[in-house]
Amino acid sequence: MRYYLSLFAVLLVTMSCTKEEQVSEVEKEKPNQIVLIFNKPVKNGFAINPETGKTSHGRTNKGDEIQVIDDHYMAHRLTFEEGAEYDTVVIHSKRDLVEMKLMYKGIDDLTYLFENGDSVLFTYEGIKPTASILNRKAHAEVVNFSLFIRDSLAFSDHLAITLLQNPLLKMREMRDSKMSFDEFFAQLDNEASARVIEETPLYYDLLDQWKKEGLIDEHQYRFRLENIARTMQISDLSLNRPDMEQQSPAGKNIRKALEDFKTRYPDIEAGRSDSLLYNSVYQRYLATAIAMQYRGKIEMISQEGRGAGARTLNHLQRYDSIRATSFMSPLEKKLIQYQTMNAMLSQPNFFSIANRLKYLTRFRNDFQDSAMVQSLIARYDIKFEIEDEVMLEGTNGEIISLNELVASHKGNVIYVDFWASWCGPCIREMPNSKKLQSDMEGRKITYLYISSDRKRKPWKASMKKHQLDQGLHYRITNANTSKGLEDMRIMFIPRYMIYDTNGKLVNEDAPRPGEIDKLKAEFGRYLSSQG
């Protein structure tokens, strides 16, 4: 009897709820997450050269290949465990529909659109991932539209529009060409843009057929068409710039492809709208449009090092210029300034600590968006104070300053190797470093390896993978707030330094371990002065 009374009470309360309360109850019942289950996932962050079996081009080898935009419009990369029997990744979101992308063949992306509450299983055939939605019926080819059109409709290994927009792909295609860069890229653009005109109607026919057969819903249908149009608009922005004296064949082809789209789908708008900012292709379009708006108006700044150099936009000037504009919506401006701050904070060699903190404070005051500010603070381990010391963390978690560490090894020459787990040239020098230590065994030399990895996990994993068990190993913990590190002006890694037996920095750009004869002579100078 108690059960029936309870059930009656629940029914009575439910029937007496207002419409607003019922909506609230529905909101509470939404899972607000999408569960991705990967069965033996394969890395696609780098492409494999079939001739050599080695990686040829790509973006990441860390498994962080899942790309998603969160409810605050910020892009994130999530990681799966390569080869795991099953690995689960949860995307948290309150949105009804969430776009998710997987890296593919190093420089390509496969795009999916999932519903709130979906559970999705990814299985692999070779490097190809296939998504299956477990909690509802969905047409497999619609779910895997990106992979399907690449396998069945594209005229080559990649979509023509992907080839048109990706410099790394163009470089790979150029390997055996004797033409100059400009000539080859122009020819490739012309060929790829002509193929865009041939390929895109095939996508339209497929989507229209699915819609006619009831296999694709309106959301998926418009999402796919808008992405095709927006991707072509990105190429149009770069190929048909106002400053061009003459329109190239590639520019004409892309403009024709866009006109064909508008003729076929006049009701699908391709203008700007804040409602589209959860779409990664639209965010890329917006960023490209803003970049073109400021093309030639923002100065480039350069850094030079031994055998290396780099350039970047002056993001301080860019921030101030965008701040003064009125042609963007408030939300667009906030997102673009967030991306500007991200670029500024990720390049500490170009922008001083004082300026980075100044502009981060300005961003916080301009937009009062705690989620974006906290994201930047967490990503770059920002502390709103400037420290004099370079603080280090040892392999056992002990914290010590660089000055204290150098002082503790007084009496020895100290050879410092600044490196990082993601730095290929750094890793390639490690065998030479081991040989150096073997050759100089018994000499009063301390080998100090200092990693610039922001996180402990990749640092430790790289040490284990490359068997870096010789010397002393530490990681910088305050790279973004250390005035001492900034004063060392380490623009590029690997970078090597030598301290003499009195703890004085005597060579701030020492020879690499591979330059063993030069390095032995350098060591000899300071070891001989010891006596």
DSSP string, 466-483: TT--SSEEEEES-TTTBH
| Residue 131, pLDDT score | 98
418 near 493, Cβ under 8 Å? yes
63 near 45, Cβ under 8 Å? yes
13 near 54, Cβ under 8 Å? no
CB atoms within 10 A of CB 507: 17
| Residue 177, pLDDT score | 60
- Exposed e or buried b for every residue in 101-137, given b needs 16+ CB within 10 A? bbbbbbbbbbbbbbbbebbbebeeeeebbbbebeeee
Tell me: the pLDDT tens digits for 127-142?
Answer: 999 999 999 999 999 9
All residue ranges of the chain with pLDDT < 50 are: 1-27, 531
| Residue 395, pLDDT score | 94
Rg (C-alpha) for the chain, rounded Å, is 28
Give this prediction's pTM: 0.81
| Residue 25, pLDDT score | 46
Tell me: the pLDDT tens digits for 269-293?
Answer: 778 899 999 999 999 999 999 999 9
| Residue 455, pLDDT score | 87
CA distance 121 to 141: 14
| Residue 11, pLDDT score | 33
Cα 26 to the chain's mean position, in Å? 35
| Residue 489, pLDDT score | 85
| Residue 46, pLDDT score | 81
| Residue 169, pLDDT score | 65
- List Cβ neighbours of 177 (8 Å cut-off, separation of 6 or more): 184
Tell me: the pLDDT tens digits for 380-410?
Answer: 888 888 889 999 999 999 999 999 999 999 9
